[in-house]
């Protein structure tokens, strides 16, 4: 049985309304459960989606880490909140990943990556990224110190993926999938503007080409893509609140491997699609809501 876990954000929602939540999606039986409905009173109401909703998802043993904009929440498999953590340099968080006993967090508001020690449960490392016109630079900093990066959000760092070959980082305005080896930060491959969830995959790179409304797999010699689902306008709800700066259908974000060559991808209104790279076909689509404001953010395979 394949079960996915997804988080969502709700663009343009109002105080007193839901701002997204956590979903468990049973692909075989086409069933959806929502164990968490995110509604909090201390949300920043300025800007686009920013603080509204839940973001990246990662696992460590029996702990489920789910990021909000400026806070890291920890749940058990029954979705009881058992801890939460904040840091002055954590703002507008997007994706997160666990690697070698650390949880790495994209702090988009600071164009930075934060490291969280999974054994001491404390922030232990920081890396600020920048492009000064001469190339990309990475500057380590102490997330517990007084000195650190300024809130810039110039590259809009929104994704991180780690392997033994390095830390792979991307952002809406970075223009590249970047690789940090521990000593230097260099472009690994160029990416279109507006990219989400970029990562090395097999012989190429896999990502949500969000502006083109496709999931794309590119190698040196070839590329495949899958179209993001779209709906008839008559099917969608909350169109009176729709604004292209706030919410639109077909916004692709959230991407994970289900099995070899089988990919799950998220989009808005909150939809999960199962794409098969082996047959180059979309196997199935599960729609969670037709509320155009509601968009998938984090997406992972449920391990329990």
Q: Is the pTM of this model over 0.85?
A: yes
Which residues in the chain show pLDDT less than 70? 1, 12-19, 40-52, 241-247
Q: What is the pLDDT of residue 121?
A: 98
Residue 47 confidence (pLDDT): 43
pLDDT of residue 41: 47
Closest CA to 5 of 28, 43, 34: 34
Cα(first)–Cα(last) distance of the chain, in Å? 11
Rounded Cα distance between 293 and 242, Å, is 7
Q: What is the pLDDT of residue 248?
A: 85
Topology of the domain comprising 3-301: Methylamine Dehydrogenase; Chain H (2.130.10)
- What is residue 132's predicted lDDT score, i.e. its pLDDT? 85
Sheet holding 63-67, edge to edge: 57-60, 63-67, 72-75, 81-85
pLDDT of residue 45: 42
Say how far apart CA 197 and CA 255 lie, in whole Å: 6
pLDDT in tens, 171-180: 999 999 999 9
Determine how β-strand 81-85 pairs with β-strand 93-99: unpaired
CA separation for the pair 19, 1 (Å, rounded): 29
Nearest to 180 by CA among 157, 202, 204, 210: 157
**pLDDT at residue 18, as a whole number:** 59
* CB distance 53 to 10 below 8 Å: yes
For the chain, which residues make up each domain, given as ranges?
A: 3-301
Structure tokens at 96: 């997160």
Q: What is the pLDDT of residue 242?
A: 47
């Amino acid at each position: 049985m394949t079960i996915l876990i997804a988080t969502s954000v709700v663009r343009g929602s109002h105080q007193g309304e839901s701002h997204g939540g956590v979903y468990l999606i049973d692909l075989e039986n086409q069933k959806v459960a929502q164990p968490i409905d995110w509604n909090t009173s201390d949300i920043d109401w300025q800007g686009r989606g920013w603080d509204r909703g839940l973001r990246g998802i990662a696992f460590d043993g029996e702990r489920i880490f789910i990021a909000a904009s400026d806070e890291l929440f920890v749940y058990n498999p029954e979705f009881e909140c058992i801890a939460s953590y904040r840091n002055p340099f954590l703002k507008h968080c997007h994706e997160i990943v666990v690697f070698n006993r650390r949880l790495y967090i994209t702090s988009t508001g600071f164009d930075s990556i934060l490291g969280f020690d999974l054994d001491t449960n404390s922030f232990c490392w920081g890396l600020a990224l920048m492009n000064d016109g001469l190339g990309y630079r990475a500057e380590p900093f102490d997330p517990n110190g007084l000195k650190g990066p300024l809130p810039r959000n110039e590259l809009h760092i929104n994704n991180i993926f780690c392997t033994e070959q390095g830390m792979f980082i991307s952002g809406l305005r970075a223009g590249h999938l970047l690789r940090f080896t521990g000593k230097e930060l260099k472009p690994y491959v160029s990416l279109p503007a507006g990219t989400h969830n970029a990562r090395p995959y097999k012989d190429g790179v896999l990502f949500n080409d969000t502006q083109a409304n496709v999931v794309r797999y590119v190698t040196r010699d070839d590329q495949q893509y899958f179209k993001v689902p779209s709906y008839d306008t008559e099917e969608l709800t909350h169109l009176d609140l729709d604004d292209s700066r706030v919410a639109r259908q077909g916004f692709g974000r959230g991407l994970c491997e289900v099995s070899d060559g089988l990919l799950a991808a998220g989009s808005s209104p909150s939809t999960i699609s199962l794409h098969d790279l082996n047959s180059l076909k979309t196997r199935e689509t599960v729609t969670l809501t037709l509320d155009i404001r509601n968009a998938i953010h984090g997406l992972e395979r449920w391990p329990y």
